[in-house]
A and B are shown apart, each in its own frame.
Chain A
Amino acid sequence: MVDVPHVKVTLDNGLDVIVHEDHGCPIVAVNVWYHVGSKNERPGRTGFAHLFEHLMFEGSAHHDRGYFRPLQEAGGALNGSTNADRTNYWEVVPREALDRALWMESDRMGYLLAALTQAKLDTQRDVVLNERRQTYENRPYGLAGMAMMAAHFPAPHPYHWPTIGFPDDIRAASLDDVREFFAAYYHPANASLSIAGDVVAKEAIAAADEYFGDLPRGPAHDAVVAPQRQGRAAAKLRIDDQVELPRLYLSWPSPVLFGDGDAELDLVADVLAGGKSSRLYRALLHDRQMATDVAVHQGSRELSGLFSVVATAAPGHTLGEIETVVADEIARVSADGVTDEELRRAWRRLEADFAWRRQSVGGFGGISDQLNAYNVFAGTPGFFAADFDRYMRATPASLSGAATSALSPDTRIALSVVPRGDGAAALAGSTPLEMG
């Protein structure tokens, strides 16, 4: 019941095409992944993969009048996003607009550069700088995430820089950079197309072949390899920000996506902070009332994961108190694992989550996006059941093992984000960071 029926073919030019039929609603989702993200950037041009994503919406050779209009006219919704590992683009349209969506996606995959101009690049550079201000610089605690990644992954590790990039690098991007990037990464052999919804698989595959089949395959590129870790010691860091309450970010390097211990740490995160019966919610918010929120996350990616615990101090309480409670609880999970009841509830929530994720064919996280994610990261779109199985195979002992191996005090970075002028609110011994 966890599986999502689908058909996959690879076109002669290397483009993977995946189709899932669902006739419940007269809509169809088109989703394209390019296996390129900010980890493929070079120092001095950080933020480029994302800036490039913006240019993909500015028109292509045969339709140079903006990407949104013809698809919104068709009743479609559309968007795209970039992270360290991949860039995705999607449309959800009524079924009568499938051809138009495929035409538009294929035109920008094949013929973007002819429509590229300096003026478009200049405007989108300003848009992206404003996105950076709005999402990170002008937002409370907005710089914490990138500070954690930078601290855990020293240069030249490709996770060292944030996907949004550094402002000076964004400003430095040139038309030549755009052309090189397009030539290196935007072509069928580095892409995966999925189509889900009110379509007939055979017809959808034929349509995909019609629109994408004559695009040139494009060059292969080497996978990015993570540099050997340098046995980095634990650290305590501090950011002074325009915030009301101090917030603590504890984080550890953790298993890669689908790696040993990745699923276990997802379950550990759920036991620690999934819902109001979780251990840390009860300890920090209910029983001792020393925090106003707590969240735990195993964020796993292709080159490494990052396990994080984030909690904000309630007025009158300190980050030190919170740190003690969290450290104790993690030590307990490492030593004793979790109870059978905790694991059972985590499984139920997981089952509901898998069902939840099968509700929508399109958009971020919809079925079409998941088919591409599995295809690109696990090598097959039919990975739903295997993914689910990773969790069902977990035991209290394997959770304890994964926690013991990943969540060691020796690799932990503790970042305190404190109100400006109140440096003493940070954990004792924290080094201040300058966040430009």
Chain B
Amino acid sequence: MPVDRSALPPLGEPTSLTFPVIARETLPGGVQLRTVDHRQRALVSLVLLLRSGSAADPRGREGLAGLTAGLLDEGSGRYTALALHEALGDIGGHLGTDVFSDATVLSVTALARHAADALRVLMEVATAPRLDADDVDRVRALRISRIAQLRHSAGTVADRLFLRALYGQHPYGHAPIGTESALASIRPEDLRAFHATHYAPRTWTVVAAGGGNASELRSIVGDGIESLPPVASPSVGRLHHVSPPADPPLPPDRLVFVPREGAVQSELRIGSLGVARRVNDYEALSVMDTVLGGQFASRLNLNLRQAKGYTYGVRSSFDARRGRGPFVVRTAVAAAATADAIREVVREIGEIRGTRPVTDDELEVARSALTRGFSRSFETAGQVARAAMRLAVFDLPDDEYTTFVPRIARVTRDAVTMAAERHLDLNGLVAVVVGPPAVKASLVDLGFGEPVEPPDRLTA
């Protein structure tokens, strides 16, 4: 029987996701342990969350959280750097040390039969980094070289300058890698002090998933953590209630231009101060962003890529943090299209706030994309472990994931437009352009004022 091609097959009833059970307990010493039941048998994922990241860098020591994390695997406790990485090789292990603005995430993924060894490695690097002066100098030099190299990556320069333009000296104003001058000033005692304050076990949330048997994994991880020697650490009063940073003042410069000789494209970042993760209309905002620029078939991408061919792609996003994170539209466009592309982005942002509000059809597609697509985010043990971790990062309720779908399904058109009005601040928009010198003249009448060239790019 030939297929009916007169209409798309309708979608069946949405499948509801049964989120894996997360077992929670507080170990003696205050460690929060989460064990997730997941069918993944061959591998285990162990994640250790510290609720301090680059936003905890002291002024003038930008990059301290990142450098501390970067030194964990350069010698720890009983291991030299070489021995540590050989031990990882022996268990098919991969160690991750990722620093975000509000969190540092240490993780080990390894063959499940070596789960106990994987935990031992994780505990060693978290509790006993050697922070030897030679290693500090070596890793610092690598990071300073990296910063120098990134000067030539137009996209990275644009990302950095956007954060700096939006946040200035605010804790969210710099990338975790920091700046060359701040890195150069960091002393081993700064690293030791940062580690003592921010890596104390009673601030940890540990999530373990995989291996096929949650109770066995729970006892391996629980026993391993409980057998840690007590750590003398300075008292930190705000342990599980770290305050988010306050809002930054309005940025003085609204249009930053970096001339790049010979560039064939302009990297663009356009955005404003966004939201904290616990904002009360997060669901309506998610729907709004999906329509605006959160997926391929969004207003921005259909306009700038599919209708006009200015770019390979354009996306918008709200980076919702503990404090108010950035809202940003990111794209790279053909140099000749620079000013027109900025105009179109600003126009789309303005229109979704009211002159061309989200339609019923757009609302339906976006809600459906978010609700029906939800289960894709919980396929692997690593995804589930990180989802459990995010609850701790943002102090979200235990039932966050089970109530997500109905909360999105209840979002109305009015709520979406209100979220757009509330969270897209046309007067607070900041634009960064990294492109060929010739495009500068075209940027003067975009409504952002005169383009300002930053005095430096190295520390951007």
**Which residues of A are at the interface with B, using a C-beta cutoff of 8 A?**
1, 24-27, 61-63, 66, 68-70, 72-77, 92-97, 99-100, 103-104, 106-107, 111, 122-131, 133-135, 137-140, 210-211, 214, 242-245, 274-277, 282, 285-286, 289, 292, 312, 314-315, 341, 344-346, 348-349, 351-353, 355-356, 358-361
Q: Smallest CB-CB separation from B384: which chain A residue?
A: A25
- Pick from B86, B261, B379: contact of A361, CB below 8 A: B379
Contact B14 A133 (CB under 8 A): no
- Pick from A127, A275, A359, A360: contact of B312, CB below 8 A: A127
Question: Given A244-B152, A285-B142, A352–B93 Cβ distance below 8 Å?
Answer: yes
Q: Smallest CB-CB separation from A356: which chain B residue?
A: B43
- Of B2-10, B27-35, B185-193, B416-424, the one contacting chain A is B2-10
Contact B379 A24 (CB under 8 A): yes
Selected A-B contacts with CB under 8 Å, 19 pairs: A25-B17, A72-B296, A75-B371, A75-B372, A93-B372, A94-B375, A96-B12, A104-B8, A106-B3, A123-B307, A133-B334, A138-B265, A210-B3, A242-B261, A276-B81, A314-B145, A352-B92, A352-B111, A355-B43
Contact B373 A75 (CB under 8 A): yes
Question: Given A275-B88, A359-B43, A292–B146 Cβ distance below 8 Å?
Answer: yes
* Docked complex Cα distance between A104 and B11 (Å): 13
CB distance from B451 to the nearest CB of A (A): 20
Closest 6 CB pairs of A and B: A75-B372, A352-B92, A126-B309, A96-B12, A345-B89, A75-B373
* Docked complex Cα distance between A138 and B334 (Å): 11
* Docked complex Cα distance between A96 and B8 (Å): 13
- Pick from B81, B90, B296, B374: contact of A75, CB below 8 A: B374
CB distance from B182 to the nearest CB of A (A): 18
- Any chain A CB within 8 A of the CB of B62? no
CB distance from A144 to the nearest CB of B (A): 14
Contact B306 A66 (CB under 8 A): yes
CB distance from A135 to the nearest CB of B (A): 8
- Any chain A CB within 8 A of the CB of B207? no
Contact A72 B94 (CB under 8 A): no
- Pick from B109, B334, B378: contact of A126, CB below 8 A: B334
* Docked complex Cα distance between A73 and B11 (Å): 9
- Any chain A CB within 8 A of the CB of B21? no
Question: Given A26-B375, A361-B379, A242–B152 Cβ distance below 8 Å?
Answer: yes
CB distance from A349 to the nearest CB of B (A): 6
Question: Given A131-B312, A244-B152, A62–B6 Cβ distance below 8 Å?
Answer: yes
* Docked complex Cα distance between A24 and B37 (Å): 12
Residues of B within 8 A of A242 (CB): 152, 260-262
Residues of A within 8 A of B3 (CB): 103, 106, 210-211, 214
Q: Smallest CB-CB separation from A123: which chain B residue?
A: B309
Output the residue of B39, B89, B149 with the most chain A CB within 10 A: B89
CB distance from B173 to the nearest CB of A (A): 23
Residues of A within 8 A of B305 (CB): 127
Contact B380 A245 (CB under 8 A): no
A-B contact count (CB 8 A): 220
* Docked complex Cα distance between A275 and B85 (Å): 7
Contacts A104-B8, A353-B92 known; list 13 others, CB within 8 Å.
A62-B5, A73-B372, A74-B368, A75-B371, A75-B374, A129-B334, A138-B154, A276-B81, A292-B145, A345-B89, A345-B90, A355-B42, A359-B379
Contact A123 B306 (CB under 8 A): yes
Contact B85 A276 (CB under 8 A): yes
- Any chain A CB within 8 A of the CB of B369? yes
- Any chain A CB within 8 A of the CB of B13? yes
Residues of A within 8 A of B111 (CB): 348, 351-352, 355
* Docked complex Cα distance between A353 and B308 (Å): 42
Contact A359 B380 (CB under 8 A): yes
Residues of B within 8 A of A277 (CB): 82, 85-86, 88-89
Question: Given A73-B368, A76-B373, A355-B42, A349–B379 Cβ distance below 8 Å?
Answer: no
Q: Smallest CB-CB separation from A97: which chain B residue?
A: B11
CB distance from A262 to the nearest CB of B (A): 21
Question: Given A73-B369, A242-B262, A244-B151, A25–B5 Cβ distance below 8 Å?
Answer: no
- Any chain A CB within 8 A of the CB of B103? no
Residues of B within 8 A of A361 (CB): 379
Residues of B within 8 A of A62 (CB): 5-6
Residues of A within 8 A of B13 (CB): 96
Contact A69 B85 (CB under 8 A): no
Contact A72 B379 (CB under 8 A): no
Residues of B within 8 A of A282 (CB): 82
* Docked complex Cα distance between A345 and B63 (Å): 33
* Docked complex Cα distance between A137 and B332 (Å): 12
* Docked complex Cα distance between A106 and B152 (Å): 44
* Docked complex Cα distance between A135 and B374 (Å): 30
- Pick from B11, B15, B148: contact of A26, CB below 8 A: B15
Q: Contact string, B246-272, partner A, CB cutoff 8 A, digits 1/0?
A: 000000000000001111110000000
Residues of B within 8 A of A244 (CB): 145, 148-149, 151-152
Contact B309 A73 (CB under 8 A): no
Residues of A within 8 A of B149 (CB): 140, 243-245, 292, 312
B:256-293 near A, CB below 8 Å: 260-265
Contact B153 A139 (CB under 8 A): yes
- Any chain A CB within 8 A of the CB of B57? no
CB distance from A104 to the nearest CB of B (A): 8
- Any chain A CB within 8 A of the CB of B73? yes
CB distance from B157 to the nearest CB of A (A): 11
Question: Given A74-B11, A131-B312, A292-B145, A356–B109 Cβ distance below 8 Å?
Answer: yes
B:302-351 near A, CB below 8 Å: 302, 305-312, 332-334
Residues of B within 8 A of A133 (CB): 264-265, 332, 334
